[in-house]
């Protein structure tokens, strides 16, 4: 009986150490992106209305697109210059995906509906990708870079970033500015 308890206890301790190490590793990498170099920045204006300022960061400050738009670690940070509801944000994402040719996005939409917050003027949403998966961070007026959700589907990771980084984006000038193209 004591062997089972000790074995169970040893297993629980080992599991908690693994989880603790994993959490510490994620926390370290979650904070690392804030030190990355800026590749480029852009301003999205719709008619006369400023919508958001965006910037692209990578560890080296360079962006090179491969077969997909996120072949390496990057952070896309967007500071909103007006209030945008969660529904407006999701609807705009769906619209951009349709323009890019994505059709079966219902499971992606469900994930983003669970992640995206309502956004107020001056708040920031940052998506940090390791090239395959990513995490969303939200900065409100009172709290900075709070983890609000994760994407574990590499196709969703790429589709989300394609809105800004694909050569087929609706906003090619914004893309050029973000990727630091001349």
Mind giving me the DSSP string for 126-160?
EEEE-SS-EEEEEE-SS--SEEEEEE--HHHHHHH
> Looking at the structure, do residues 26 and 41 belong to the same domain, yes or no?
no
Digit-coded pLDDT (tens) for 44-95 = 998 899 999 999 999 999 988 777 677 789 999 999 999 999 999 999 999 9
108 and 172 co-located in one domain:
yes
- DSSP string of 108-127, one letter each residue: HHHHHHHHPPPB-TT-EEEE
Q: Flag whether pLDDT at 36 surpasses 60.
A: yes
Q: Which of 86, 146, 83, 135 is nearest to 110 (CA)?
A: 86
What separation in angstroms does the CA of 54 have from each of 18, 78, 81, 108? 36, 4, 11, 22
Same domain, 84 and 146: yes
Residues 13 and 59 in one domain: no
Whether 42 shows a pLDDT value over 50: the answer reads yes
What pLDDT is stored for residue 152 in this prediction?
95
Report the domain count for the chain: 2
Provide the whole-model pTM.
0.81
Same domain, 148 and 166: yes
Residues 66 and 100 in one domain: yes
Give residue 66's pLDDT. 74
Which domain range does residue 18 map to? 1-31
For the chain, report the end-to-end CA distance as a whole number of angstroms. 71
Tens-digit pLDDT profile for residues 150-177: 999 999 999 999 999 999 999 999 999 9
């Amino acid at each position: 009986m004591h062997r089972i308890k000790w074995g169970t206890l040893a297993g629980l301790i080992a599991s908690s150490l693994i989880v603790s190490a994993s959490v510490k590793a994620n926390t370290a990498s979650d904070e690392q992106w804030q030190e990355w170099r800026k590749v480029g920045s852009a301003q999205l204006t719709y008619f006369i209305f400023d919508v958001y300022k965006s910037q692209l960061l990578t560890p080296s400050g360079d962006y090179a697109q491969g077969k997909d738009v996120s072949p390496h670690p990057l952070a896309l940070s967007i500071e909103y210059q007006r209030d945008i509801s969660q529904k407006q944000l999701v609807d705009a994402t769906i619209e951009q995906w349709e323009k890019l040719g994505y059709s079966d996005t219902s499971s992606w939409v469900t994930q983003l509906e669970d992640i995206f917050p309502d956004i107020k003027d001056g708040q920031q949403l940052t998506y940090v990708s390791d090239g395959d998966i990513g995490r969303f961070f939200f900065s409100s007026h009172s709290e900075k870079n709070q983890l609000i959700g994760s994407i574990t589907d590499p196709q969703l990771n790429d589709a989300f970033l394609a809105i800004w980084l694909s050569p087929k984006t609706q906003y090619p000038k914004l893309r050029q500015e973000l990727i630091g193209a001349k």
